[in-house]
Amino acid sequence: MPKISQKIDKLTNSILNRISGESFATDVLELKREELKNLKRGWRFEWKKEFQNGKVYKLVNRYAPEVIQGLISLVNGNDHIYINLIETAPHNFGSNKIYEGVAGNLVAFACKLSLDCGFDGYVSFEAKTKLIGHYEKTLKAKLLTHNRMYIDKNAAENLIDKYFNS
């Protein structure tokens, strides 16, 4: 199983343009297989493979939905949602990124989906060892075993409130 290595740069109420400081409302939509060909160079993962594992969702600016800001692959674990993979778009990665808040927004969506499925917001994922402390601090995730982490009901509700009740 892949280990999640996406840093949570900032928890915002939407996505925040680093240059202008302007916030933009977002939508999370299921990615269609035919949209894979529109993914430009720079994506680090093979998203085509993720269609075999679960559902892939894209985060878009509500007012520019043709530009994908990030992707997340989610699996229904029957009592929680499992994040198989998460990645910000190449233009939102590194020191020259355009938007902050993309990864946090996608994790909040996973929590909301879990809540909608009747799983009380519970989400789990495998974290790279060096990021465990980061996820504990930013997402209030808890360590379950070795690298397996989870977001509980309270942490999920906080993320959902931040991104979906504004």
- pLDDT for res 53: 79
* CA angle (89 as vertex; 16, 163 as ends), nearest 5: 40
CATH 3.40.630.30 is right for the domain spanning 15-164:
yes
146 in Cβ contact with 91 (< 8 Å): no
- pLDDT for res 58: 97
Per-residue pLDDT of the chain (166 residues; tens, 9 = 90+): 565 555 665 666 789 998 999 999 999 999 998 998 888 788 988 898 888 878 999 999 999 999 999 999 999 999 999 999 999 999 998 888 999 999 999 999 999 999 999 999 999 999 988 889 999 999 999 999 989 999 999 999 999 998 876 5
What's the token pair of residue 8? 């949570």
**Residue 123 Ramachandran class (φ > 0 left, ψ -120 to 50 alpha, else beta):** beta
